[in-house]
Structure 1
Amino acid sequence: MNCIPSHAKKATRNVQDNDTIATALYNRMRGKFNTKDQIEFYSLADKYRAHCLKTGHMHRYYNGWQAEIMYDINFNHFYRAMKKTLKMSKDIKERKCTDELYNASYLIGVIYSLQGNTGLAKKYFHKAINEAGTGDSLKTLHIYKDLANVEMDDEPDKAMAHIDRIIRITKASDLKYEYCDAIAFKVVLGFVMHDWNTVRKYYDVYMKIRDEHRKDFSTTYYTYVQICKHAADKEWDKAIYLTDRLTNIDKYKFKADIYEISGNMKAACKAQKDYIHHKDSVNSTIMVQELTNATYEIESIFTHIRKEEAKVMRIALVLTIFMALVIIAALIFVIRNRNRYLRELWNKNNELERLRSKAEEAEIMKESILKNMSHEVRTPLNIIAGFTQILGQSDANLSPEEWKDIAARVTESSNNIVKIINDLLYISSKDSINYTMRNDKVDCDELCSRCMEKFCDAKADGVKMTLNSSLPGGMRIRTNEDGLSRIMECLLDNACKFTEHGSIRINCRLTDNSRNVEISITDTGCGIPEEIGDKVFDPFYKTDTDVDGLGIGLILAQRIACQLDGNITLDRDYHDGARFILTIPVGKE
């Protein structure tokens, strides 16, 4: 099994020599590890664990559990693997098998490292080492190896120290296969650190092992070692040629590094783009898998709701029969108590209806997010990642204007992401921002002018933006200034997005015997078809999917308006574009 640490396999073989049943089950399970026959693999894993638990061999019991988790990780089922790992950790604590607790922490570290979260991966790898005990131990070999892997790019010196520790342990324990892998890893680290003496020195050691111990020689990193040696000898073409033999995204990363070392920055930039593209594709596959698992959880909720409905119906039937019997036995008693039973039944039905509505709302929310979030979030993230790669190149020859342009683009992308997250947080929780305090005295004309200035650059060229007001000069209303500004920004942003020609007009006037102020934003854009007029205030709804945005601006403005005791409506009688009307109380002086 490629993903199970080799020292664990060797230890397992030693303790299973006297247990032929466990040995047979374990070997059959290993034979299915790299196949997609998950039903057969899970069945063998269950049988193996049941046998080990029956015979009282807890180390083998948890080793079988670990094998099943690594199988899920091997096929990118991270959601499933994390659930099983947490369940395994709980089982270890309940059975008080604390010597095995480090395995759960290690598996969590593996999951986080493969998902790209190196911070949490390091945390759990160190936790696993502490739980495994101090000193050089065989059971920490795989932990140090994975820790070195996640630290290799950012902290190569620490990674080298971990590999040196592995070399000491494997050499002392005469583990030639594992020792061979550690030497190969040291060659790769020398390449990462551009320490060509280390590359050449340990390449010779690696090849000597091949010549002297062919039976125990590991070819896991053979191609990597050859690539690093060619790079150390400046044989760039040979190194690049061998990178195509790598089967994962490492081939793009190695190509980018080799081109950069050789001075071919144009080819390095292209290889770096390919690396980012394929890495992003892998992450997208993982995201789809995670969403699939989440969908399964939602379907489980629906199943639970249906069971609850059936249960309630059975309860209702029993109650009906009971009430009929009670009527026959004591009519007066039933009359006095029937209202209580009806209230209980009504409350249960309401609770089920509430749960069903929440589940349906969650399903709709998931679909909306999947449609809108990918472009709106990943585009600025890709911009930041791309320019960060350029800025991180030590020999990047950029003019001051290019530096300033890159900084502006990164800042703009960061601000876009922050705005998206803030809007999502507000939409997801109505109480996340509270605009109910209305103690500000606000000049409506002045506030509208300020908001117009913010959108002068956002509107299309040639679009005229004007403010017309019939409010008394210097008139102020009592409201929440931040909330009113946020509403105007949402409405103006919507108008600017859909108006390519013509004008955007803001009109302010008193209505309802001077009790309310009416602010209308009128544009000459594409307008809103009558049949979808009721949907524009729905979360994540967009009339045009090609226009940037998540489709939450109008619902955000409507919710803030409600907190200010106001309201926003769409003028159905205006057909030359769109007109939204905000009505807000004047308030008490």
Structure 2
Amino acid sequence: MLKKTVLFCLFLQVALGIIYAQKVDSALIRSTRAYYNKYFNDPTDPIVLTASDTLLNMAIKANDTVMTKMALGAKLDYYYYGQGENRTDSVISGVNLLKQYARKIKNPELYYWAWSARLVNYYIMQGEYNVALIEAEKMLREAEEEKLESCIAECYSALANVYSAKGLLKKSQEFMLKEIQLFEKGVKRYNISFQYSDAAKIYIDLGEEEKAPELLKKALSTAKSPYHRVTAKLVYIPLYLAQDNIDAAHQALEECRQIYADEPSLRRHLHYFHDVEIDYNRKVGNYSKALDILETQKNEFKKTNSLTALSELKKTEADILWDMKRKEEAAGLYREYLQGQKEEKEKNEEITTSEFATILNLQQLSAEKRELERISQEEQLQNTRLILFFAIGILCILIFFLFMQRRLNRKLQWSKDKLNEKNRILTEAREELYKAKEIAEQSNWMKTVFIQNMSHEIRTPLNSIVGFSGVLVDMLADKEDIGQYVSLIESNSKLLLKLVGDILDISAFESDMDINLYPVEVNACCQAAIELGGMSFSQDVKFFFEPTCDELTINSNHSYIVQVLDNLLSNASKFTREGSITLTYEVKEETKQLVFIVTDTGIGIPADEQEHVFERFVKLNDFSQGTGLGLSVSRIIAEKLGGSLTIDKEYTQGSRFVFCVPM
């Protein structure tokens, strides 16, 4: 009794420890998410630098891969969106960290996203178009080698952005349409709405605005965020302007303004709205307002030191001044713009020259490698000649051995003849054994048929005995002695009936009987099994049923699931005198299985006997009531249903049976 009490206390302590650990893990995850929501609303806030390190430590401790990715990306975005010194080195370092983490967790989409959306786009923002192009092409080669279509689509997106920045609109549109084609074939693309919007904008810029509406409809239908939707709606403004529909353009502009006002997350993308607003005001002749907005844009880009964007604004300002007939001021700005373009071109040419020099060095190394390979081939040819001479010598030796082998073959032939004679005798014996095997199988089949017929014949009178025994128990309940005798008759009749039923089940399954499958409600199966086995529970034993779902339907067989659960609960109640018995189930999504678990705090099963109990007529306690067929029949049913029945060997506080069936 003392031993059982100690074991129960230990089990309770372990269970409470597991529950506490789960609560700690979930609490860590909640606190990590709350910390992110508190400090990471604005990627340009300096607090992001210190908060991202704290968030990373919290995410690692909570084993939260999503927050780990967000922590690494937050510090990268701080520099990407124009904050801090040594931005280029910081962006490259941040991208490399994110790529390493993506490889670690085997997430190629994150790997190529960091490379494309952050490194390539950063070079574009800095005006280093040739460097961006080299990175994008390198990325495409790597993705094509790995044969990852979703990552190839990401590379197409990067190349489209590079060519768009270089002003090569048709080339940019070519890669956008390639990415769209992959998406329409089934490749998942979260930002595909942008490609539809950008392709439509290019058609408008090329004077083919009649092709834009269809693409914009697709952009809105594939939008997954407010940023996607507002980007598509912004393109409607130049479309309406191209169609000279000023009222529709103004209405679309105000609708976009309201979206930006309602969504705080769009704040960092506000410059796209200002670009469209400037174009609209210029088109309708409201030049002063266009210049005011442009001045606001200049101040924002000066804060982030976005030189390329400032240069483009200078050209836009010159265009507006030219439209306002302020041609001298416009000419001055054009000169400054052209001078900046010239300097930018020289800078890019210098970088490109450096890259080409690197490529030439690689080509030289390749040539040297080819020369070394040629020398190596000549040495291999010399070695081949030597090998050939050795081969001729070995051939001569082989001929000698073949001559000796022929002599041995004659002796072996004589031995072979003797073996053939013995094989003939063995073949005759095998045929006789085969005939004996057929006779034995026929006898076994006749035995099975006999058992089935006899079991059926025995079951009919037994049903009557069991039924009328129950009636007698009710009638003679007030007569204690007679009632006990009748109750004993009833219980033993039920035991005999179960034995007959188990024998019938084994005989049926041995004859390859198929089980019919149909929709089954899991909780109803559990309740039916509890009602069948509940009468045998001791008053000192607590029973718990812990359903995972309020309602769950699977394709299986109600009767056989109830039979297995009834056997498991009956076994648990038979060997558990105090403590608890628990029936629960859980859904394994990765294997598409439903797992029933019956746990008790009884005497348990020794480790060396845990497979032995599934054999027929096996009882570890010869004095316990039962046929020794229940677990054997249950395992056969589990396998016929396409599942399994096992014992959890790690559970030591009693017995735990695990019954799996396919969903």
Q: Larger Cα Rg: Structure 1 or Structure 2?
A: 2
Judging by fraction of residues, say which structure has more helix: 2
Q: Same fold (TM over 0.5)?
A: no
